[in-house]
């Protein structure tokens, strides 16, 4: 098992008291594609960040167990985390615009990522990077190598981020809303690319998104989060059989192109969902 989280809790202390944002999440990831779906504030991103220990310092994290490939994340020192973060687990964020250094060429950035983890000479690195760029299906990798981030589109930027994350051959890829800043046509391409690479390399994928139908198309399993808990976990193929009223509500309140609804059903949030 690649990731094993049991009873994860994340709390933030503020002047007005303690606010628990994640309240007992348990999940495990193998070499599979797991999607975490939830609305803003459901704690889905915090869960992923806790796994990489990327939370702000005022967050209080507790768990019965939180392990990455057998390494205890809760008690690992910062040196051990450096070996995991970016090396054995890659992290892709929503907007590539803010993740790439604007004054460095794309080639140099990817090369640097590659050399930090693999070492080796400049010429060797360049070839490897061109190969990586080709792997994320950039059509003209030699040209893109010398471009600056502002000279490429959002979709291309996200491909480059993926290439950077793949450089050290990680075992797990965490993608936090990787396509919500992209157009629908590009979004499908990027997700298909990620799906393909993850399957071919035998990696695990943790895809975090607010878009339930989208996630269920590209993942094997889906965990639905509400107010800091996983309210339902189901295989992506059986979304139609979802039991929890929240999951069903999320699906029902979407407007539909093929099945027009005169009025959209509104989600009535039940107090009981907070407990179960």
Partner 1 sequence: MAPVMIDVDQLRVRFGDNEVVKGVSFQVPSGGSFGIVGESGSGKSTVLRAMSGLNSAWTGRIAINGQSLGARRDRAFFRTVQMVFQDPYGSLHPRQTIDRILSEPLLVHGISDIERRIEKALAEVALPSTARFRYPHQLSGGQRQRVAIARALISEPETLLLDEPTSALDVSVQAEILNLLADLRERRHLTYILVSHNLAVVTHLCPQVGVMIGGEMVEQLSADDLRSGQTMHPHTAELRALSVDLEEVP
Q: Which is nearer to partner 1, 14 or 256 (CB)?
A: 256
Closest approach, Cβ 30 to partner 1, in A, equals 21
Comparing CA positions, the residue from 185, 180, 240 lying closest to residue 211 is: 180
Comparing CA positions, the residue from 51, 52, 53, 57 lying closest to residue 6 is: 51
Contact assessment for residue 223 and residue 233, using Cβ atoms and an 8 Å cutoff: yes
Comparing CA positions, the residue from 194, 222, 228, 186 lying closest to residue 24 is: 228
Per-residue tokens: 269: 């949030």
For residue 240, CA distances in Å to 19, 213, 251 come to 34, 10, 9
Contact assessment for residue 204 and residue 198, using Cβ atoms and an 8 Å cutoff: yes
Q: Which is nearer to partner 1, 116 or 243 (CB)?
A: 243
> Using the rule CB under 8 A, which residue among 18, 185, 271, 275 binds partner 1?
185
Q: Does 193 bind partner 1 (CB under 8 A)?
A: no
Provide the mask over 26-65, with x wherever binding to partner 1 is found by CB under 8 A and - wherever it is not. Answer: -------------xx-------------------------
Half-sphere exposure of 13 (CA within 13 A, CB side): 4
Q: Which is nearer to partner 1, 82 or 254 (CB)?
A: 254
d(CA 37, CA 222): 7
Stretch that binds partner 1, among 64-72, 74-82, 139-147, 260-268 (CB under 8 A): 260-268
Q: Does 254 bind partner 1 (CB under 8 A)?
A: yes
Closest approach, Cβ 240 to partner 1, in A, equals 5
Q: Does 75 bind partner 1 (CB under 8 A)?
A: no
Closest approach, Cβ 39 to partner 1, in A, equals 4
Closest approach, Cβ 151 to partner 1, in A, equals 15
Closest approach, Cβ 74 to partner 1, in A, equals 31
Contact assessment for residue 36 and residue 208, using Cβ atoms and an 8 Å cutoff: yes
Contact assessment for residue 171 and residue 88, using Cβ atoms and an 8 Å cutoff: yes
> Using the rule CB under 8 A, which residue among 72, 169, 183, 196 binds partner 1?
183
Where on the chain is the footprint of partner 1 (CB under 8 A)? 39-40, 154, 183-185, 188, 210-214, 216-217, 236-240, 249-251, 253-261, 263-267
């Amino acid at each position: 098992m690649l990731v094993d989280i049991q009873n994860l809790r994340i709390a933030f202390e503020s002047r007005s008291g303690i606010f628990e944002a994640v309240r007992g999440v348990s999940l495990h990831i193998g070499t599979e594609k797991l999607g975490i779906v939830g609305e803003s504030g459901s704690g889905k991103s915090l869960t992923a960040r806790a796994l990489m220990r990327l939370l702000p310092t005022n967050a209080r994290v507790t768990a019965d167990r939180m392990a990455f490939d057998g390494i205890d994340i809760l008690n690992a020192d910062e040196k051990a985390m450096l070996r995991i973060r970016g090396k054995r687990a890659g992290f892709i964020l929503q907007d590539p615009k803010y993740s790439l250094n604007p004054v460095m060429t794309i080639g140099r950035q990817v090369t640097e990522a590659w050399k930090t983890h693999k070492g080796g000479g400049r010429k060797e690195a360049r070839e490897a990077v061109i190969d990586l760029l080709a792997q994320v299906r950039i059509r003209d990798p030699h040209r893109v190598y010398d471009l600056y981030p502002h000279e490429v589109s959002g979709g291309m930027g996200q491909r480059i981020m993926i290439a950077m994350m793949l450089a050290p051959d990680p075992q797990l890829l965490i993608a936090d809303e990787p396509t919500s800043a992209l157009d629908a046509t590009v979004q499908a391409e990027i997700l298909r690319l990620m799906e393909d690479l993850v399957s071919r390399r035998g990696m695990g994928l943790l895809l975090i998104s607010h878009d339930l139908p989208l996630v269920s198309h590209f993942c094997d399993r889906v965990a639905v989060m509400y107010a800091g808990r996983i309210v339902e976990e189901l295989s992506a193929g059986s979304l139609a059989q979802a039991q929890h009223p929240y999951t069903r509500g999320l699906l029902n309140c979407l407007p539909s192109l093929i099945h027009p609804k005169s009025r959209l059903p509104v989600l009535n949030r039940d107090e009981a969902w907070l407990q179960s």
